[in-house]
Structure formats: structure tokens, C-alpha cells
A and B are shown apart, each in its own frame.
Chain A
Amino acid sequence: MARRQKAHMGVDDIPVSSFSDIAFLLIIFFILTTTLVATRGLLTEFPSGERSEKQEKKTTTVCLRDGRLTLNDAEVDLPRLRRELAALKLADRTGQDKVVILESAGRVEYQDYFEVMASITQAGGTICIVRETGGGQ
């Protein structure tokens, strides 16, 4: 009897039958937590440099001021801004000619700013931010 018990104690099996269950639970966790939704947005590299009055006169300027939108001092709405920027064929230009100055003043929400940024980027322009205080870039 004592012999038999010893023989039983010698078996060292690690229970692995529940491994697959654990693994599948982990899979379910990852499936649920993984985000498959693509991040959307716009990519812009703001050029650095000094502000030059001479250049500003030639460069396309979009201004957002207290909810009002102007393109080269002419008041426009967003669909018109898109049309006008598309007509400029900024994508075909190179270097400094691609630059569009984006000026903002007063009360401007990010939603409006983002829509203008998206319009310039989609037209193929390079955005140059000009801040009301502290000068431009």
C-alpha cells in the first residue's frame, strides 16, 4: 500500500488542458480592445523663417477673424475658399510659391481653423501660421 502511494506521487504532470481556454480568452480581449478604425486627418509641415513684408504682399493670405473668412482681403465662405484655392493650382507650384499664410485673430474655434487648414492642404498648399501676438514664424 505504501509502495503504491509513492508511485502515485512520482507523477509530475503540469495541467495544460486549460491553456487553450486561457489563450482564447486573451484573444477575445485583444479583439475587443484593438482599434481597427483608421486615424484620419491632415499632415502639415509649417515652414520656419522670418516674416518678410515684401513676400507677404505676393503670398496668398487666408485670414480668420471672429468667424469671418477672407482670402487676400476679399470675404469668402468655405466652399468658395476651396474653389479659389483649387483655381490657384498650388499643387503644381514649388517652394515659396506653394505657401499660403494662415492668419487668425479674435475669437476663432479649432473647428473653423481645421476646416481652413484642410482646404489649404487639400489644394496642395503649404501653411504658414501667422499669429496675432508674438509675430509670425
Chain B
Amino acid sequence: MKRPRKRRRRARIVIPVASMADIAFQLIIFFMICSNFAREAGIPVKPPTAPNLDRLRESNTAVSIDSRGQIYVQGRRVPDALSVEAELPGLLRNARTTEARVVLFRCDRAVGREVFEPVLDAIARGGGIVAAIGERDDRKK
């Protein structure tokens, strides 16, 4: 007499994917909060080099001078250093701490004194603390 074969029960493996979208959106929120979008991405600047440069914290205020000597405040072109001095008090209006007064100064290495010096002066007169951006080059030690 043949015994009826018992049917083997196959275990169904189910990967829970219902929470995948939630995880993904959490990650997106994380990246959105942590990202610093380059406000001045379109401005061609070759920063100067020097050894032992410190890490700078990001700032909400930025002044740039491109290789052609054109001046930008917050990524917007301004005619001269006087405009920088005029615009900065407005931008630093809510700056209560020293850190909030930091102005990122991005200037092309080939720009001449007659262009960058009045701008540095204007930032100082406008109440900003200059954070001059450069690239670390330890070969120059």
C-alpha cells in the first residue's frame, strides 16, 4: 500500500518593502538639509594657494571677483566696490554673532590689487569679517 506523499510546504520568503519609500524620503530630507548649494557656481574663479589653510565654515554672505575683475555679491554682478559697501549692511542686518558677520571672499588669483583691495576694504567697512578662500598647497611650506 502506498502511502500518500506528504506535500512539502515551501516557506514563502517575503521581503518587506513597504517602508522603503519612507527610508528613501528620510534620506532625501537629510541630504536637502545638509547640502550647501553652490550659490556662485557659475563664476569662474581660480582661488589662490597657500600652505596650512584652515577649514572655513559656510556663510550666508559671499563676495566674488572673477578672472576678468568683475565683482559679484551673492552671485549677482555689481558695478564696483562701492556697491559692495552699500549692500553689505543690508545682508548683515540680522547678524548678531561674530560668526554671522563672516563674508566668504572668493577672488581669482590673477586679479590685480586695484580691483581686490577696494573690495576687501569695502567688506571691512560694511561690517564683515573676511574669510578669504584659497586652496591648500603644502608644497609651498
On chain B, the number of residues with a Cβ less than 8 Å from chain A's Cβ atoms is: 52
A107 in complex: contacting residue of B17, B38, B50, B112, CB < 8 Å? B112
In chain A, positions 101-132 with a C-beta closer than 8 Å to chain B are 104-111, 113-115, 117-119, 122, 129, 131
Shortest Cβ distance from B134 into A: residue: A41
Among the stretches B2-10, B86-94, B101-109, the one at the interface with A is: B101-109
CB distance from A73 to the nearest CB of B (A): 20
Cβ of A27 under 8 Å from chain B = yes
What is the minimal beta-carbon distance from B128 to any residue of chain A, in angstroms?
9
Interface size class of A (residues with CB under 8 A): 35 or more
Contact B54 A113 (CB under 8 A): no
B95 part of interface (Cβ distance < 8 Å): no
- Give chain A nearest CB distance to B65 CB in angstroms: 8
Contacts of B47 in A (CB 8 A): 41
Please, which residues of chain A bring their CB within 8 A of the CB of B109?
109-111, 114
Question: A78 CA to B48 CA in the complex, in Å?
Answer: 15
Are A40 and B132 within 8 A (Cβ)?
no
List, in ascending order, chain B residues with CB within 8 A of A107's CB.
112-113
A88 touches B (CB below 8 Å) = no
The CA of A114 and the CA of B21, in the complex, are separated in Å by 49
* Other-chain contact of A110, B32, B116, B121 (Cβ < 8 Å): B116
- Total A-B pairs, Cβ < 8 A: 141
Q: Which residues of A contact B37 (CB under 8 A)?
A: 33
Residues A110 and B53 in contact in the complex (CB < 8 Å), given A27-B28, A40-B136: no
A43 within 8 A of B: yes
Known A-B contacts A40-B55, A42-B54, A137-B124; the reply to A110 vs B25 at CB < 8 A is: no
Residues of B within 8 A of A44 (CB): 129-132
CB atoms of A108 and B113 under 8 A apart: yes
Contacts of A9 in B (CB 8 A): none
Give the docked Cα–Cα distance between A113 and B129 (Å). 17
Q: Of the candidates A19, A106, A110, A113, which one forms a contact with B21 in the assembled complex, judged by CB atoms under 8 Å apart?
A: A19
Instruction: Evaluate contact between A114 and B31: CB separation under 8 angstroms.
Output: no
Instruction: Verify if B71 is at the interface (C-beta below 8 Å from A).
Output: no
Q: Are A118 and B113 in contact, with the CB atoms below 8 A?
A: no
CA distance A40 to B124 in the complex (A): 20
B residues adjacent to A (C-beta < 8 A): 17, 20-21, 24-25, 27-28, 31-32, 34-38, 47-58, 65, 102, 104, 107-113, 116-118, 120-121, 124-125, 129-136, 140
> Which residues of A line the B interface, CB within 8 A?
16, 19-20, 23-24, 26-27, 30-31, 33-35, 38-46, 48, 78, 104-111, 113-115, 117-119, 122, 129, 131, 137
